Amino acid sequence: MSPRRAPTAGKRGRENAGERRGRALEIARRLEREHPDSRCALDHATPLQLLVSTILSAQCTDERVNQVTQGLFARYRSAADFAASPPGVLEREIRSTGFFNQKAKSIRGACAAIATRHGGEVPRTMEELLELPGVARKTANVVLGTAFGIAAGVVVDTHVARITGLLRLTRERDPVKIERDLMALLPAEEWIDFAHRLIWHGRRVCIARRPRCDACVLADLCPSAKLAQPAAGPGRAQARSARSSR
């Protein structure tokens, strides 16, 4: 039995919806094989810690966030602890993550709501999470998917937005619209892991400034792939040399 042929991103004109869904599923399958160890890179032991880390991760590397939260989570054990942090103290402790004033405001506001309205427990629905100060769909999806295993949507961070655009799985730039397109292309059971794997792919292979298209398992499915051209043979090289010497 001959192996099934993968759908390609050839230059055949516009894809129809069925072809795009088939290509998206093949992309998901290849990412699963390529990055079986993918996971959320933010260190956390509880849903609350993951919520705080995700707020801190805006415009900041996960490595820096993990450095900051190592001490932070030893000092703040509950939502009430974060909500009651004295003015200026939390800001100073998270300063190295950038935008620390806004992040501190979001953490205090979200944790105050969790402490007073949810009995100190991070809520488990998209609707309730979006009611928390400083929490948008990306943060809510991270918490629901990673902490609770609930597939309510697709996490769209900078890697996911960039790579799905390169793959032409979406032509949108707004994260909410990108998420909508991805949810339409993929079954719900793929939503959580697809985002994790795409993020890892963006860090390991499809690097923004130096994409490794030659090493990418998605290259034949990617309309944006820049594959190395075959080296010129001796005849071509000699011809070029002759022309340049004229």
The domain total for the chain is 2
* 25 and 67 housed in the same domain: no
Query: Among residues 106, 125, 148, which one ends one of the domains?
Result: 148
- For residue 13, the model assigns a pLDDT of 64
Domain that holds residue 87: 47-148
- 198 & 135 share domain: no
Residue 244: pLDDT over 70: no
Q: Chain-wide mean pLDDT for the chain?
A: 90
φ, ψ for residue 145 (rounded to 5)?
Answer: -70, -45
Domain boundary pick from 123, 148, 173: 148
Same domain, 116 and 169: no
Same-domain pairing of 62 and 120: yes
Does residue 203 belong to any structural domain of this protein? yes
Q: How many CB atoms lie within 10 A of CB 164?
A: 25
**Residue 107 located in a structural domain:** yes
Band of residue 245 on the pLDDT scale cut at 50, 70, 90: very low
For residue 58, give both structure tokens. Answer: 């805006």
Which of 148, 175, 202 is the last residue before a domain boundary? 148
Do 71 and 140 fall into the same domain? yes
pTM for the structure as a whole: 0.85
Q: Is 34 exposed, middle or buried (0-12, 13-18, 19+ CB in 10 A)?
A: middle
CB atoms within 10 A of CB 25: 15
Per-residue pLDDT, 1: 41
Question: Cα separation of 137 and 172, whole Å?
Answer: 16
Question: Is 234 part of any domain?
Answer: no
Considering the domain boundaries, does residue 134 fall inside one?
yes
Q: What is the pLDDT of residue 158?
A: 94
Catalytic residue among 103, 157, 181, 193: 157
The secondary structure of residue 102, as a DSSP letter, is H
Both 141 and 158 in one domain: the answer is no
Active-site annotation holds for 226: no
Amino acid, res. 105: K
What pLDDT sits at residue 9? 47
Q: Give a yes or no: residue 245 inside a domain.
A: no
Q: Which two tokens stand for residue 30?
A: 């290849």
Do 99 and 126 share a domain, yes or no? yes
Q: What is the pLDDT of residue 226?
A: 80
Looking at the fold, whether 168 and 143 belong to one and the same domain comes out as no
Neighbours of 150 (CB within 10 A): 17
Q: Rounded distance, CA 47 to CA 25, Å?
A: 30
Yes or no: say if 106 and 133 are a contact pair by the CB < 8 Å rule.
yes
Whether residues 158 and 124 fall in one domain = no
Query: How many other CB atoms are found less than 10 A from the CB of residue 92?
Result: 10
CATH of the domain at 191: 1.10.1670.10
H helix or E strand, kind and range, residue 204: helix 188-204
CA distance 167 to 162: 9
* CATH number of the domain where residue 88 is located: 1.10.340.30
Rounding to the nearest 10 degrees, give the CA dihedral for residues 146, 149, 151, 153.
-10
pLDDT of residue 233: 47
C-alpha distance across the termini of the chain, in Å: 56
Q: Is residue 228 part of a domain?
A: no
- The rounded percent of the chain whose pLDDT value lies above 90 is 85
pLDDT on residue 227: 62
The predicted structure's pLDDT at residue 5 = 45
Per DSSP, the residues of 51-80 read: HHHHHHTTTS-HHHHHHHHHHHHHH--SHH
Q: For residue range 25-56, what is the model confidence (pLDDT) as tens digits?
A: 999 999 999 999 999 999 999 999 999 999 99
Q: How confident is the model at residue 10 (pLDDT cuts 50, 70, 90)?
A: very low
- The reply to whether 196 falls in a domain is yes
Q: Is the pLDDT of residue 241 over 60?
A: no
Catalytic residue among 103, 138, 181, 193: 138
Tell me: the pLDDT tens digits for 51-101? 999 999 999 999 999 999 999 999 999 999 999 999 999 999 999 999 999
In the residue annotation, 157 being an active-site residue is answered as yes
Q: Compute the half-sphere exposure of residue 48: CA atoms within 13 Å on the CB side of its CA.
A: 23
| Residue with the two structure tokens 């929490």 | 135
Residue 5 is assigned to a structural domain of this protein: no
Clarify whether residues 130 and 177 are in a common domain.
no
- For residues 162 and 102, membership in a common domain is answered with no
Answer for the pair 139, 122: CB distance below 8 angstroms, yes or no: no
Do 30 and 94 fall within a single domain?
no
Q: What is the pLDDT of residues 93-137, one digit of tens each?
A: 999 999 999 999 999 999 999 999 999 999 999 999 999 999 999
Cα(199)–Cα(137) distance, integer angstroms = 17
